[in-house]
Amino acid sequence: MTDAGKPAAAGKPAGAEEPLPPRLAAALAGFERYLRAERSLSPHTVRAYTGDIRSLLEHACRDGVQTPDGLGLAQLRSWLAVQHGSGAARATLARRGAAARTFTAFAHRRGWLATDPGPQLGTLKTRRTLPHVLRQDEMEAVLADLDAAGRRAEQVTAPGSGSEASGAQAEERTAAAVALRDAAVLELFYATGIRVSELCGLDAGRLDQDRRTVRVRGKGDKERIVPVGVPALRAVARWLAAGRPELAAGASGQALFLGVRGGRLDPRTARRIVHERLRETGTVRDTGPHGLRHTAATHLLEGGADLRSVQEILGHSSPATTQIYTHVSIERLKSSYRQAHPRA
């Protein structure tokens, strides 16, 4: 896979696929079904893993392997060596190794491999970079601007304000609905720390205004309950009452957030919303939905939340994944210390 995210074997054009022998092709198809149906992995992860395993099987085929039982540790190691030689990043190599171990474990359970060579491959440790986060005052400035824009937009879409709207007035009402949506999107991202795919997958009925929670379906199709703050609930309620009806169409279904044509909001548009709204503020550094997730987690820890609670809120399966946010908080503390202490 190239570092841009598209699987490709070294030495052949990106996107070109070599035909696999029938039994290897059948094994790859079975592996893809397993990832989708049994592991319930996201479409992005399924594409990445199947692309990696196709690359592995193509490499093994060039080494004379025609059936899954011919795949061994030598082929796994030589395949990763080729990837390393072609300049693959350390994180990419780690993911490919994980994909290979997942595939060999799957093949062993199916009886295609007498022994599983995957555990002998080892695990490549990646260098974890500290995530970029916004300061609390930066987030306050962004959300204050969006709240003010939402209040103005609410007046435009109020009942009786242009029920027989001209073309220009209709455009104004649509723009107002979009402003209400965007304010609710950023408020909910920051309040909950949910992933962009989780936000786009929300239905209106998953938000409980009384209990101040939202039911989120995350990775592996796992559901969790996440608390929501009052400002975010207020922004979403304003969107549902005054904004969503302006964009709703036959394709809207129960989707909480909609695009301008009435369909469910997609992740690409959600990312664009975050980047554009932050850029409009002009006083904060650019980041995306994942940056807001990092920001929410860091601010929770800085406010005194325990690591286990933050892990539950973010939907991390392992506390080790959440641990990085404590490093962020410590780095910010050290930075403040160096600036403030006379003998730092």
The answer, yes or no, to whether residue 6 has pLDDT greater than 80, is no
Contact between residue 312 and residue 224 where contact means Cβ atoms under 8 Å apart:
yes
Element (DSSP H or E) covering residue 215:
strand 213-217
Tokens 């730092």, located at residue? 344
Tokens 């975050």, located at residue? 274
**Active site residue: 95, 195, 238, 244, which one?**
195
**Active site residue: 47, 77, 234, 290, which one?**
290
Give the closest residue to 212 by CA, choosing from 231, 198, 197: 231
Give the tens place of pLDDT for each residue, 138-174.
999 999 999 999 899 888 887 665 555 567 788 899 9
**Active site residue: 54, 95, 244, 316, which one?**
316
Q: What is the mean pLDDT of residues 104-112?
A: 96
Q: Tokens for 268? A: 């690409």
**Active site residue: 219, 234, 271, 275, which one?**
219
Distance CA 216, CA 188 (A): 12
- Mean pLDDT value across the chain: 86
Residue 11, classified by CB atoms within 10 Å of its CB into exposed (0-12), middle (13-18) or buried (19+), is exposed
pLDDT of residue 4: 39
**Active site residue: 34, 49, 190, 325, which one?**
325
Distance CA 228, CA 37 (A): 31
Query: Is 219 tagged catalytic?
Result: yes
Give the tens place of pLDDT for each residue, 224-277.
999 999 999 999 999 999 999 999 999 999 999 999 999 999 999 999 999 999
Annotate 102-123 with DSSP letters as a single string: HHHHHHHHTTS-SS--GGGG--
Give the tens place of pLDDT for each residue, 185-231.
999 999 999 999 999 999 999 999 999 999 999 887 889 999 999 99
Q: Which residues of 144-165 are buried (b: 16+ CB within 10 A; e: fewer)?
A: ebbeebbeebbebbeeeeeeee
pLDDT of residue 164: 54
The answer, yes or no, to whether residue 10 has pLDDT greater than 50, is no
pLDDT of residue 271: 95
**Active site residue: 59, 101, 264, 293, which one?**
293
Contact between residue 93 and residue 124 where contact means Cβ atoms under 8 Å apart:
yes
Query: Is 334 tagged catalytic?
Result: no
Distance CA 118, CA 318 (A): 22
Left, alpha or beta for 322 (phi > 0: left; psi -120 to 50: alpha)? alpha
Query: Is 190 tagged catalytic?
Result: no
pLDDT of residue 306: 82
Q: Tokens for 246? A: 């302006």
Query: Is 316 tagged catalytic?
Result: yes
Query: Is 325 tagged catalytic?
Result: yes
Distance CA 76, CA 93 (A): 12
The answer, yes or no, to whether residue 7 has pLDDT greater than 60, is no
Q: Tokens for 113? A: 């491999």
